Structure formats: structure tokens, C-alpha cells
């Protein structure tokens, strides 16, 4: 093997084995760089005889070209391999199903509260609030509920604990939203138009009752507010809430200590094939209690009954949600609500309004 064959073997092997571009560059410099082995050999040509120079020069040129070509080819091969590896790593199967994302949903009770609030806001009712742990006075006395009234008995009301030595009556978990009437009257006086949505508590548990449920109270006081105003407000509310063009309401004489006269209100409906339809048919369904605010209640709220009068009503929000969205069992709210929340698609808020501003 002559010297050039040794060089050739050395560089071509080196190139074949190079695993990265930096190694190739090193080989290039070692062979073809200014001080590379081939370049030095080229420089020696000057000291050779013309014949020697011709053969060695030609051979050196061939070798130089061979190494150069091998370097280029290997460089390209390394780049290709790198690209292949990258493509393999970045491979993406666009036919895979998407990753499921958890979407938050709005609970039907919250949605109905928002719907109710929006509808009454259109009729000029503001939202009033009160505590869920309420004093005996606000929950009962101020609402003209006498101490011997059955609503006060232990089996209906959750009483808070009191020190045995403390003579004051225990606080209660409010049994209705009506105490908010008193608080609102005390706060703003008359005239007033408020609704009070919120949680209420009674010791009761079966398919249609839960110990905690939700009510919305309404109170409207003015100089000449009458039951006719009550009827119009309720009709507008029911049409908008149930999304029907007309409704028929029936006022049944009733008794509440805090209203006089009092009426329970039924709505005309049909139950054909187990499907509830509001506004048509031959059945009546009770939806709320109402009446003209009792003078004693106005007085408890610091309002002069000789000057002011008006109506109040209270209705169950859970029940409204069940009726509107066809939920058969109140316990669905607590035990399996996720299942049917999704079924009913409670993801977005779509608020109906009386005057059509937000609806459709
Ligand atoms: N507070 C009554 C109840 O819980 C409802 C009601 C409110 C009735 C206002 C008349 C007026 O049943």
C-alpha cells in the first residue's frame, strides 16, 4: 500500500464511521484544511521532478475529490437521518379521538334562580338578601306567626343550639324567605320592589321534599298596589319562565299569617302521556303562596300600614326547575345530578326575559 492509499483508507473509513457533523468537520480539516494532510502533500509537489509531479499530482487530486465527495455524501446522510428521527418523534396521529375536556355546568337550581332574577329585574324588582341562620323574631314574630303556630314546632324547624342558661329564644335555620321581606322593609322603607331568592330549611325528606330547598320571595309595596298587580306580575312571570304564549292562573283562598287576604296560586296545565304542558289542558298545579302583606307585618318592617300596601308571594325554586326541565324526583338534585345535568345540557345560561330583550 503506498502512502496515498493509506491516507485514502484512513479518511474514507473515518468518514464512514462519523456519527455527527462535527466529526465530519474535524476529518475535513485534518485532510483538506490549510494544514491538512492532503494539502501538505500538495505543497510537496513543488519539490518533485516534472514526471513525479504529474502522476502524484493527478493521484492527489483524485484522492482530494474522493474525500470531498465522501464528506458531502455523509453530511447529507446524517442530515437525512436526523430529519427522519425528528419526524418519527414528532409523529402525530390526527385520526385519534380528541382528549375529553371537563366542561363546567350550571346547576339547574342556580340557572332557574338566574332566570327568575332576570325576569323580575325586567319588571323592576331588585334582589334582596338575608341570613340563612335567622332570629326567631325575623323568621316568625315579625311575620305575625304566633308562638303556638305549628310552623314553630320542632318537627318543622331546625333550631340552633343555645346555652341552657341563655333565656333568649334560639336562632333557627330560616324556614322560608319571608324574613327577608322584613329586613328589606327595614333597610329601604316603602315604596319597594324586591325579590329574595335563597336557601331555606325544613325537617322534611321524601321524593318531593328535601331538608334544604330554595325559595324566591317577592315583595311589592306602594300607595295602591293591589291583587290585580299581583296577578299581572305572576302571569308575566309564568309566561316568560315557562316560555309559553299564554297562561291561566287560579287564585284559591288560603291562609298565611303574614298576608291578608291570602291566596294559593295554581297554573293551568296538562299531563298527557306523563308530559307536563303549561298553559293548556284540564289540570291545575299549585305553584306558590301569595297575598296582600298583613298590616302587622308592615308595622314590624317599620312601615305605616295606613299609608302603604302591597303584595308578597313565595315559591319553590327547586320545584320550578323540576317543572320546567321535566325532572321527576327532587332527590336528583342531590344524588345523581351530574348525570342529568349533562343530559339536560346545563352548560350555558340562556335567560328569558319579559320584554324579549335577551331571549331568542
Ligand atoms: N312563606 C310562605 C311559605 O314558605 C310563602 C308565602 C310567601 C306566602 C309570601 C305568602 C306570601 O310557604
Over range 144-156, report the average pLDDT.
79
Task: Read off φ and ψ for residue 313, nearest 5 degrees.
Answer: -150, 165
Q: Are 220 and 229 in contact (CB under 8 A)?
A: yes
What's the 336 CA to ligand 1 centre distance in angstroms? Answer: 29
Helix axes 21-32, 37-44, angle to 10 degrees: 10
Give the distance (Å) from ligand 1 centre to CA of residue 289: 5
Helix (H) or strand (E) holding 172: strand 172-173
- Please give the C-alpha separations between residue 67 and each of 33, 57, 113, 252, in angstroms, as whole numbers: 12, 15, 83, 107
For range 176-201, the mean pLDDT:
97
User: Which residue has cell 306558590?
Assistant: 288
Task: State how far the Cα of 237 lies from the Cα of 235, in Å rounded to an integer.
Answer: 5
pLDDT in tens, 3-19: 888 888 999 999 999 99
Ligand 1 atom 4: the closest Cα is on which residue?
A: 176
Check residue 358 and give its pLDDT.
38
Helix, strand or coil, per DSSP, at residue 303: coil
Which protein residue has the closest C-alpha to ligand 1 atom 2?
A: 314
Mean pLDDT confidence for 95-119: 87
Question: Ligand 1 mean position to 232 CA, how many Å?
Answer: 18
Closest listed residue to residue 129, CA positions, set 79, 192, 195: 195
d(CA 330, CA 337): 10
346 lines ligand 1 (CB under 6 A): no
Segment 290-298 shows an average pLDDT of 98
pTM above 0.85, yes or no: no
Indicate if the pLDDT at residue 341 is higher than 60: no
pLDDT confidence of residue 220? 98
Ligand 1 contact, 56 CB (< 6 A) = no
Q: What is the band of 274 on the pLDDT scale with cuts at 50, 70, 90?
A: confident
Cα–Cα distance, 192 to 126 (Å, whole number): 9
260 is in an annotated binding site: yes
Q: Are residues 132 and 199 in contact, defined by beta-carbon separation less than 8 angstroms?
A: yes
- Is the predicted pLDDT of residue 342 greater than 70, yes or no? no
pLDDT, position 48 = 87
Average pLDDT of the residues in 176-180: 97
Q: Is the pLDDT of residue 351 over 50?
A: no
pLDDT of residue 275: 78
Helices in 18-169 by DSSP H: which ranges?
21-32, 37-44, 50-89, 108-122, 136-139
289 lines ligand 1 (CB under 6 A): yes
Banded pLDDT at 106 (limits 50, 70, 90): confident
Strands 126-127 and 249-256: unpaired
Average pLDDT, the chain: 87
Determine the distance from the C-alpha atom of residue 178 to the mean position of all C-alpha atoms in its chain, rounded to a whole number: 30
In the three-class reduction of DSSP (H, G, I as helix; E, B as strand; rest coil), residue 153 is classed as coil
Contact 113, 216 (CB under 8 A): yes
Q: Is the CB of 311 under 6 A from ligand 1?
A: no
On the question of pLDDT at 159 being above 60, the answer is yes
Atom of ligand 1 nearest to the CA of 314: 7
CA–centroid distance, 290 to ligand 1, in Å, is: 6
Which of 261, 238, 240, 257 lies closest to 248, judged by CA?
238
What is the grid cell recorded at 43? Answer: 505543497
Mean pLDDT for the stretch of residues 174-180: 96
Ligand 1 centroid from CA 180, angstroms: 11
- pLDDT per residue as tens digits for the range 190-220: 999 999 999 999 988 776 678 899 999 999 9
Q: Is the CB of 321 under 6 A from ligand 1?
A: no
Other C-beta atoms closer than 10 Å to the C-beta of 99 total: 5
Ligand 1 near 242 CB (within 6 A): no
Q: Return the residue whose CA atom lies nearest to atom 6 of ligand 1.
A: 314
Which region holds residue 321: left if phi is over 0, alpha if psi is between -120 and 50, else beta?
Answer: alpha
Q: What is the mean pLDDT of residues 300-322?
A: 95
**SS3 state of residue 256:** strand
pLDDT in tens, 9-61: 999 999 999 999 899 999 999 999 899 998 888 888 888 888 888 888 888 99
**Ligand 1: which residue has its CA nearest to atom 10?**
290
Give me the percent of the chain exceeding a pLDDT of 70: 89
8 A C-beta contact, residue 124 and residue 192: no
Residue 17: name the closest of 69, 70, 80, 88 by CA: 70
Does the Cβ of 111 fall within 6 Å of ligand 1?
A: no
* Secondary structure (3-state) at 307: coil
Residue 222 phi, psi dihedral angles, 5° rounding: -160, -165
Residue 310 CB less than 6 A away from ligand 1:
no
- Most informative mutation of 128, 314, 320 for ligand 1 (most atoms within 8 A of CB): 314
Rounded to whole angstroms, the Cα distance separating 52 from 34 reads 23
CA 222 to ligand 1 centroid distance, Å:
20
Q: How far is the CA of 257 from the centre of ligand 1 (A)?
A: 9
Q: What CA–CA distance (Å, rounded) separates 134 from 178? A: 11
For ligand 1, the distance from its centroid to the CA atom of residue 259, given in whole angstroms, is 9
Q: In this model, does residue 360 exceed pLDDT 60?
A: no
pLDDT attached to residue 127: 97
| Nearest alpha-carbon partner for 287 in 309, 264, 318, 263 | 264
Pairwise CA distance, residues 360 & 354, whole Å: 12
Amino acid at each position: 500500500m503506498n502512502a496515498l492509499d493509506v491516507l485514502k483508507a484512513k479518511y474514507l473509513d473515518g468518514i464512514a464511521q462519523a456519527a455527527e457533523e462535527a466529526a465530519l468537520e474535524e476529518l475535513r480539516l485534518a485532510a483538506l484544511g490549510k494544514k491538512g494532510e492532503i494539502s501538505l502533500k500538495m505543497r510537496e509537489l513543488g519539490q518533485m521532478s516534472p514526471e513525479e509531479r504529474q502522476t502524484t499530482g493527478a493521484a492527489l487530486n483524485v484522492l482530494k475529490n474522493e474525500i470531498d465527495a465522501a464528506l458531502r455524501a455523509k453530511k447529507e446522510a446524517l442530515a437525512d437521518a436526523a430529519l427522519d428521527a425528528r419526524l418519527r418523534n414528532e409523529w402525530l396521529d390526527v385520526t385519534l379521538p380528541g382528549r375529553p375536556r371537563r366542561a363546567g355546568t350550571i346547576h339547574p337550581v342556580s340557572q332557574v334562580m338566574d332566570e327568575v332574577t332576570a325576569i323580575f329585574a325586567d319588571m323592576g324588582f331588585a334582589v334582596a338578601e338575608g341570613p340563612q341562620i335567622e332570629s326567631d323574631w325575623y323568621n316568625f314574630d315579625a311575620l305575625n306567626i304566633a308562638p303556638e303556630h305549628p310552623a314553630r314546632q320542632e318537627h318543622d324547624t331546625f333550631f340552633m343550639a343555645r346555652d341552657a342558661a341563655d333565656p333568649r329564644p334560639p336562632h333557627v335555620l330560616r324556614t322560608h324567605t319571608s324574613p327577608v321581606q322584613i329586613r328589606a322593609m327595614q333597610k329601604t322603607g316603602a315604596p319597594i320592589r324586591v325579590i329574595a331568592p335563597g336557601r331555606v330549611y325544613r325537617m322534611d325528606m321524601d321524593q318531593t321534599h328535601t331538608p334544604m330547598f330554595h325559595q324566591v320571595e317577592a315583595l311589592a309595596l306602594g300607595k295602591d298596589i293591589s291583587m290585580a298587580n299581583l296577578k299581572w306580575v305572576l302571569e308575566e312571570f309564568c309566561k316568560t319562565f315557562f316560555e309559553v304564549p299564554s297562561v291561566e292562573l287560579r287564585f284559591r283562598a288560603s291562609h298565611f299569617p303574614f298576608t291578608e287576604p291570602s291566596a294559593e296560586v295554581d297554573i293551568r296545565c296538562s299531563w298527557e302521556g306523563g308530559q307536563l304542558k303549561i298553559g293548556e289542558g284540564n289540570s291545575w298545579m299549585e305553584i306558590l303562596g301569595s297575598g296582600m302583606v298583613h298590616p302587622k307585618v308592615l308595622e314590624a318592617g317599620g312601615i305605616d300600614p295606613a299609608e302603604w300596601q302591597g303584595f308578597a308571594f313565595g315559591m319553590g325554586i327547586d320545584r320550578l326547575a323540576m317543572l320546567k326541565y321535566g325532572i321527576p324526583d327532587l332527590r336528583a338534585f342531590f344524588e345523581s345530578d351530574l348525570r342529568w345535568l349533562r343530559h339536560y345540557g346545563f352548560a350555558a345560561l340562556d335567560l328569558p326575559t319579559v320584554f324579549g330583550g335577551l331571549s331568542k
